[in-house]
Amino acid sequence: MKKEGKTDVSRPYKLAHQTLCIRAINLEKKSLIGYVELVIHPLRQDLKRVKINSKQCRIYHVSINDQYEAKFLYNDPTLEICQGDAKQRNLDYFQHCHFSAMSAVDPDNGNGEITVRLPPEMYLNIAELRPFRLCIEFSLENPKGGLHFVVPDLPGPAHENAAHVFTAGLNNCSRLWFPCLDTYSEPCTWKIEVTVDNELTAVTCGDLIEVISTPDKKRKTFHYFLSIPTSAPNIGMAVGPFEIHVDPNMHEVTHFCLPHLTEILKHTTNYIHQAFEFYEELLSSRYPYTCYKHVFVDEAYVESTSYATMSVLSTNLLHSNRIIDQTISTRTVLAEAVAKQFFGTFIAMQTWSDAWLPMGISGYLCGLFIKKTFGNNEYRFRISNYLKDVQDYENRVGGIVLDPTKRDSNHHFSIKSPHTVSPRYMEAFRSKCFLVMRMLEQRIGEQLLIQVVNKLVALATTGASQKVGANTWGNLLLSTSSFLKIISTVTGKDISPFLELWVSQSGCARFFGNFVFNRKRNVVELELKQDLGAKGALKYVGPLTVTIQELDGSFNHNFKIEENKTKFDITCHSKCRRNKKKKIPLMTGEEVDMDLSAMDADSPVLWLRVDPDMNLLSHVTWEQPDYMWQYQLRYERDIVAQREAIRALENYPTAGTRRALTDILEDDHCFYRIRMEAAHCLAKVANSMVGVWAGPPAMMTIFRKMFGSHSCPAIIRQNNFSNFQNYFLLKTIPNAMALLRNIHTICPPEVFKFIMELFKYNDNSRNKFSDNYYRAALVEAVSKTVTPAITLMSTPGQGPTADNLSAETKQILEEITRYLNLEKLLPCYRHTVTVSCLSAIRTLQKFGHLPSEVEFFKSYAQHGVFRDIRLAAIDAIVDFIKTESRPEDMYWILNLVETDPDLYVRHYALQQLVLNPPFRRMETSALHTEGLVERLWKMMNCTFSYDSRLRCDAADVYFTLYGRTRPSCLPIPDNMVVLSLKDRKNKMNPAYVPDEMEEMFDDEEEDEEVGMEEGESSQVDTEADIDVTDIGGEEPSLKRKSPPPTELPPPLVLSIGSVPETCPLGIFNEDSASQSKRLKLKMESETLEEPQVTEPSKASGTQEVTVTKTPVTPSSATSAYAAEFLKFVGVKQEHPAPEPQLSVTMDTSSRLSEGSSSPTTTAVGSESSAPLSFAGLLPSSASATDMSSATDSKAHKAKKKKKKNKHKHKHKHKHDRPDKDPLGRIREGSFNSSENSPSVTQTTLSSPEFEI
């Protein structure tokens, strides 16, 4: 399980323990403050630097062993992916930059945003390999990702308004809220302390040791300890005025929910102990932790996120005992969350390329739980769903590689980092993980696989109980190679061919097949071909099972699929002569009577199935006559087979098919989901048979028989949903019937009337269950009856007026209006009815029965409406944008994507734009404008730097709209050089970055004594270079690419280039910038700069800071810096920079300024623990003190040195430029966080071009 060698190479120290102390949380201000303390064991005697991950946090100071201040450097290239790149707008370029930026901070490459230089005083300590403590004080304000604050807009104290905060992110997002080694491969023990107001409860990982009131009794501190080594990404937290419910069956399980929801919380969680018991029994080992917590929160990032000993779940999963549908999905989600405690948090992935293992195993365990809880049919049904999803994704979008170490894919994103992967890909990825794990189960046997899993847990448990020195914590990590090893140990089997085929390769096998029965030979001649040309196809070689059902029974045949071999023979067991009396044995051992009249009298074959147990990821297009499909549907007991048959029968609209489907629909021994599918299929068959269809509309009779009242079948009985199968059919059949069309391709009037009567006679007064889903289904059904209007209207887009609404439309509107209005007064569970109504209204609009109107939906999409409704409204709006192509709507939705408080809604909106795009590449559209390109580009480039899900969503949208190449609406820049991507790749190799950076860093310090005025260091140059490009927005690519004429490899330049913002504080939001400014003011009394500083702070949201108005003050270093930039720009600039880039630039500059200002803070704050600038958040314990001038001078010196050194190593081309010295100095100042130069105060660049 461990592969320590691999990771330790890049990380010359080991983390033994981490303390995370949140000293205060302010819900109103959405901020928190605290410190972390990492106990680090050096593994090398010459350890000088420690790299830590931290984004978004402001860091006050770093100290070692409470004794020494440590200097640190902040550098985060991910804030802006393509830095200063004016013209590049193609996605491939973005992808490369994105991946290399992510690698440049990837802790598994030994990188991090923060580089801490250990003070020389520590060298002795380290030489003896003695552990030391690294303490980082930080604060976080108004985070845009990682931690989500929900603060309802209500008067009164936050805790009375159910304000709360929780961790929100997918993978490796902990760095967004506290400094850590944000990798799964570095587990350690944790002490977590959270101090909150008395009314609040803090839930986080580990055991709650005690709760201690603060001396003023206004707050209390929750002390948690997590003794099982856990990696930072598995640390989560939730704080809020939660109601607490201890599980009555397992007292170590505690559930938390928002106020007023305890009753439904109790109901929702009352079965969870079964999940625990199931897993423990299955794995024959105890649940690894001593406690477990469920926290249900509003505006959840995803339905469920798992952390060590706790899960953060969406409050919308809660339900009462009157709800049927949600119960099923909630139980699945909760059960999976428990499974992830075993695999996911307790045993975590070693690296991202091993992610498929914990995901697959937890999915597999959860699958077994589903099998036990909901039955084997449900289990198989889900498998076949997953299989279909994966096939579809691979076929339409592209291959999924579970372990991308060996092969990359050719997606428009990199699959090698969790931060660059498209969210849609991840969904399919998760399904595939589960499928592959299940295939492995079939390959080596369920018992053995369980043994393997059991062994993993046992090893991990033992490993976790040791101390850090024992080096056993690697047992808590799971990697592909360790998995391979343990499988061979436990089972003696070598599964590497299996892994090679399905894990390190993408694609599904795609078979085409048919057969003929050769009567003379009594043999079935089978032909199976693989379609290798299709997208997402995989060339499969290996065993394949074919099952044949003959008159005498069912037989499995195993074939070996080889290259170029397509013909196979199956010798039949049965004679063609058939004994009419005899029952026919099935696979299950049952013997049934069949009416064999339909089949070919000469053949004993009833049906054939390829890969019946889904042993392969395969897509089989199988040909057999319709009567065989009908037999298969009627008599095959496997629901997957029935499903296949139903799908196939769509193409055989005959009376026999009709009978078979009807019988299945009526057969209450049949799995209800199959019956539901049969209903839909029957509708299609009926439509195909419309000319010859006799009798009442399909399913009318069945429905009346099942649900009509005894005395009057035309009237539906009062609702009684206690038979769930019938309940689901009740919801489905009207929907299927609504799809019926008569000869005029409209819905038959009697069907329409039938559905309207269902509305009318719906009576739920005696029902134990809520009918909300049923009513929603009715609305959905009625909207399905709608067919495009025969428009007499001349003006397109106008739609009909009130006078010429059709009678049906009026009836529909009557119902919808009533339901919608009623929902406002007596809302139903999750507002399902409203959701359906919105989509029905959109359908009416789209088909021309109503004037298209988007404002209506916008009102439903606003924040403060229940999330499900908002999502439905967004669906409608996106659809509207597609048909109407009005730019203002597009920008409206992009605005929502950029600003909405609910991160999931933003994500959803982008996903909808991908699934239902307003236009596709090569299509013409009014929306296809440069403005939109720039907007989207900016989103992915920098706006969403704190939420990789959104960033990748935006990239998906960009890809859908424009493809990988440069959007055609953009002008071709004059000086644009076509870059060869390969070159770029090489150059961008991130591995170079850290070294170089570090070198510089070191250089700086060593050379402290050198005079200030020395030449610029190359590093500075690089930076300048980049910045310049930023500002100018032109030809950055050129510059970057041109390798500097030095010994340094080109990548250096590039990588450095991508890391220009070297501000020690991780604060990039303008707010923080303003704060730091303020500080400075106090300290340095540089009043001049204040106004400029504050200005950016106001524009906090988008980081677009308008700096234009500020005049350049040459006196201040920053302004000099800015001036320098301008000069550069002037020299190089050929075009005025486009706006988005400008804003980007501003960004950078503001960051810089922050960086430069922050050291001041640090210096001051070092004596007192609390950060100065936190006035708003907390009573600041430390007062702003004066900066020591010594620091300044030191800083300057340092800079000089740097320059010198760099000079030597690095790019000389920069030296050629005049005016570098001041610039260089400034940059250095900003570069090294611990040294602060007072002169670097001014951030803002003043140039007219920067106006936004």
Partner 1 sequence: MMTDVVMALIEMGQNLQGLPAHAKRPNKSVFLPPSHSTPTPNPRTLQAGDKMPHPSHIPDHMPAFPDPHTYIRTLTQKAPINEYQIIREKAASQKRDVERALTRFIAKTGETQSLIRDEANLFPLIAVTPHPLPYLNALLPKDQDLLAQEEEAQPTPSGKSSKSSQGGAKDGETNDQEGETTDPEAIDNPYLRPVKMARYRKKGGGGN
Q: Candidates 109-117, 213-221, 1125-1133, 1191-1199 — which segment interacts with partner 1 by CB under 8 A?
A: 213-221
Of 306, 431, 421, which is closest to residue 356 (Cα–Cα)? Answer: 431
* Of positions 189, 482, 772, 1118, contacts partner 1 by CB under 8 A: 772
For 1249, the token pair is: 């071009």
| Number of Cβ within a 10 Å radius of residue 280 | 13
Q: Return the number of the residue (803 or 1047) whose C-beta is nearest partner 1.
A: 803
Integer Cα distance of 417 and 427 in angstroms: 15
829 binding partner 1? (CB under 8 A):
yes
Integer Cα distance of 288 and 876 in angstroms: 46
Q: Return the number of the residue (140 or 584) whose C-beta is nearest partner 1.
A: 140
Q: Shortest Cβ distance from residue 233 to partner 1 (Å)?
A: 22
Three-state SS sequence of 1157-1193: HHHHHHHHHCCCCCCHHHCCCCCCCCCCCCCCHHHHH
Integer Cα distance of 1226 and 503 in angstroms: 50
210 binding partner 1? (CB under 8 A):
yes
* Of positions 520, 567, 744, 824, contacts partner 1 by CB under 8 A: 824
Q: Shortest Cβ distance from residue 165 to partner 1 (Å)?
A: 16
927 binding partner 1? (CB under 8 A):
no
Question: Is the four-CA dihedral 922, 927, 931, 933 of positive or negative sign?
Answer: negative
Integer Cα distance of 135 and 59 in angstroms: 11
592 binding partner 1? (CB under 8 A):
no
* Of positions 866, 891, 892, 919, contacts partner 1 by CB under 8 A: 866
* Of positions 625, 656, 827, 1015, contacts partner 1 by CB under 8 A: 827
Q: Return the number of the residue (51 or 870) whose C-beta is nearest partner 1.
A: 870
Considering only residues 249 to 268 of the shown chain, the ones binding partner 1 according to CB under 8 A are: 251-252, 254, 258, 260-262, 264, 266
Q: Return the number of the residue (264 or 544) whose C-beta is nearest partner 1.
A: 264
Residue with tokens 């919105």: 838
Residue with tokens 């929900």: 150
For 629, the token pair is: 């499909």
Q: Shortest Cβ distance from residue 208 to partner 1 (Å)?
A: 4
271 binding partner 1? (CB under 8 A):
no
* Of positions 22, 27, 37, 105, contacts partner 1 by CB under 8 A: 37
Q: Shortest Cβ distance from residue 247 to partner 1 (Å)?
A: 9
Considering only residues 1140 to 1199 of the shown chain, the ones binding partner 1 according to CB under 8 A are: 1169
900 binding partner 1? (CB under 8 A):
no
**Are 107 and 182 spatial neighbours (Cβ–Cβ below 8 Å)?**
yes
| Number of Cβ within a 10 Å radius of residue 862 | 12
67 binding partner 1? (CB under 8 A):
no
* Of positions 820, 910, 1026, 1187, contacts partner 1 by CB under 8 A: 820
If binding means CB under 8 A, how many residues of this protein chain bind partner 1? 104
275 binding partner 1? (CB under 8 A):
no
**Are 1141 and 1033 spatial neighbours (Cβ–Cβ below 8 Å)?**
yes
771 binding partner 1? (CB under 8 A):
yes
Q: Return the number of the residue (220 or 987) whose C-beta is nearest partner 1.
A: 220
Q: Return the number of the residue (202 or 893) whose C-beta is nearest partner 1.
A: 202
Q: Return the number of the residue (724 or 866) whose C-beta is nearest partner 1.
A: 866
**Are 137 and 1171 spatial neighbours (Cβ–Cβ below 8 Å)?**
yes
* Of positions 12, 542, 585, 851, contacts partner 1 by CB under 8 A: 851
Phi first, then psi: give them for residue 250, nearest 5 degrees. Answer: -135, 110
770 binding partner 1? (CB under 8 A):
yes
171 binding partner 1? (CB under 8 A):
no
Q: Candidates 199-207, 550-558, 779-787, 1034-1042 — which segment interacts with partner 1 by CB under 8 A?
A: 199-207
Considering only residues 1026 to 1045 of the shown chain, the ones binding partner 1 according to CB under 8 A are: none
Q: Shortest Cβ distance from residue 29 to partner 1 (Å)?
A: 18
Q: Candidates 859-867, 911-919, 960-968, 1012-1020 — which segment interacts with partner 1 by CB under 8 A?
A: 859-867
Pairing of strands 477-478, 348-349: parallel
Of 658, 783, 680, which is closest to residue 728 (Cα–Cα)? Answer: 680
**Are 1087 and 1025 spatial neighbours (Cβ–Cβ below 8 Å)?**
no
Q: Shortest Cβ distance from residue 856 to partner 1 (Å)?
A: 6
* Of positions 152, 497, 749, 1091, contacts partner 1 by CB under 8 A: 152
First-residue to last-residue Cα distance in the chain: 53
* Of positions 201, 1029, 1118, 1156, contacts partner 1 by CB under 8 A: 201
Q: Shortest Cβ distance from residue 651 to partner 1 (Å)?
A: 39
Considering only residues 831 to 850 of the shown chain, the ones binding partner 1 according to CB under 8 A are: 831, 841, 850
* Of positions 46, 66, 562, 595, contacts partner 1 by CB under 8 A: 66
Integer Cα distance of 886 and 884 in angstroms: 6
Integer Cα distance of 402 and 433 in angstroms: 7
316 binding partner 1? (CB under 8 A):
yes
Q: Shortest Cβ distance from residue 1123 to partner 1 (Å)?
A: 40
Phi first, then psi: give them for residue 760, nearest 5 degrees. Answer: -65, -45
Q: Return the number of the residue (201 or 1239) whose C-beta is nearest partner 1.
A: 201
Rounded (5°) CA angle 265-271-274: 145
* Of positions 28, 129, 130, 198, contacts partner 1 by CB under 8 A: 198
209 binding partner 1? (CB under 8 A):
yes
The helix/strand/coil state of 868 is helix
Q: Shortest Cβ distance from residue 590 to partner 1 (Å)?
A: 40
Considering only residues 710 to 729 of the shown chain, the ones binding partner 1 according to CB under 8 A are: 711-712, 715
Q: Return the number of the residue (266 or 388) whose C-beta is nearest partner 1.
A: 266
Query: Assign residue 36 a region: left if phi > 0, alpha if psi is -120 to 50, beta otherwise?
Result: beta
28 binding partner 1? (CB under 8 A):
no
Integer Cα distance of 8 and 1164 in angstroms: 36
Of 1063, 1059, 1065, 1060, which is closest to residue 140 (Cα–Cα)? Answer: 1065
Of 694, 529, 687, which is closest to residue 618 (Cα–Cα)? Answer: 529
Q: Return the number of the residue (100 or 201) whose C-beta is nearest partner 1.
A: 201
Of 1228, 1188, 928, 947, which is closest to residue 1084 (Cα–Cα)? Answer: 1188
Q: Return the number of the residue (210 or 668) whose C-beta is nearest partner 1.
A: 210
Considering only residues 681 to 710 of the shown chain, the ones binding partner 1 according to CB under 8 A are: 709
Of 951, 704, 796, 799, which is closest to residue 97 (Cα–Cα)? Answer: 951
For 87, the token pair is: 């013209």
| Number of Cβ within a 10 Å radius of residue 669 | 5
Q: Shortest Cβ distance from residue 210 to partner 1 (Å)?
A: 6
Element (H, E) at 257: strand 253-257
**Are 761 and 715 spatial neighbours (Cβ–Cβ below 8 Å)?**
yes
Question: Is the four-CA dihedral 461, 467, 468, 470 of positive or negative sign?
Answer: negative
Q: Shortest Cβ distance from residue 818 to partner 1 (Å)?
A: 6
Instruction: Please report, for residues 21, 32, 582, the alpha-carbon distance to residue 211 in angstroms, rounded to integers and kept in the order given.
Output: 14, 19, 75
Residues whose CB falls within 8 Å of the CB of residue 502, separated by 6 or more in sequence, listed in order: 402, 436, 439, 617
215 binding partner 1? (CB under 8 A):
yes
Here's the x/- map for partner 1, 112-151, by CB under 8 A: it reads as ---------------------x-xxx--------------
Q: Shortest Cβ distance from residue 768 to partner 1 (Å)?
A: 6
976 binding partner 1? (CB under 8 A):
no
Of 849, 847, 905, which is closest to residue 879 (Cα–Cα)? Answer: 847
153 binding partner 1? (CB under 8 A):
yes
